[in-house]
Structure 1
Amino acid sequence: MIDRTRAMWPQIADVIIERIADGTYPPGSKVPSVVQIAAEFGVVNSTAQRAMERVRAEGLTRSEKGMGTYVLRPEERDQP
């Protein structure tokens, strides 16, 4: 699944994006924390953070300070 000979963060981002697409993380649900993602994939927190930044840049999630990161509903994804 993850190729450790290539940069990890884009691969992790792809996994998270796929999980959103397939409903593993449905709209409105909370995405695992950076610490949880880092532990799952065996990477440092900064690598997991970079992956999550890409997922957010794709317009799929929103972060609430102190609350976590949530999957946007499709109707929310088109808004600025």
Structure 2
Amino acid sequence: MDWKPDIPRWRQVYDVLEERIADGTYAPGTQLPGVLAIHAEFGIAQMTARRVLTELRDAGLAQMQPGIGTFVAELPKP
């Protein structure tokens, strides 16, 4: 990934995953990659990967199920 020096890495990875959710790569109910998979794909620290998932949850795009994983939230119908 070509990192932009003026944008935090967690935000850049968040934007990639948000786009994948928006374009249907990760459909509602689909399990998102876990911390280790995000760490491996993007080469970021595991704590940074955890923050990405937490931020997705806080934005209402994902739901965390402890011990199971993080899943794309069912978005409300317009």
Query: Which TM-score bucket, shorter chain as reference?
Result: 0.7 to 0.9
In structure 1, stretches of 5+ residues that fail to align are: none
The percent identity for this pair of structures is: 42
Unaligned runs of 5+ in 2: none
Q: Which amino acid aligns with 1:24?
A: T
Pairs aligned (count): 76
Structure 1 equivalent of residue 47 of structure 2: 46
In 2, Cα distance between the equivalents of 1:34 and 1:23? 21
Q: CA deviation at 1:5?
A: 2.4
User: For residue 24 of structure 2, what is the amino acid of its counterpart?
Assistant: G
For residues 2 and 52 of structure 1, the distance between their equivalents in structure 2, rounded to whole angstroms, comes to 21
C-alpha RMSD of matched pairs (Å):
1.6
Relative to the length of structure 2, the TM-score reads 0.88
Runs of 4+ in 1 over 3 A off after TM superposition: none
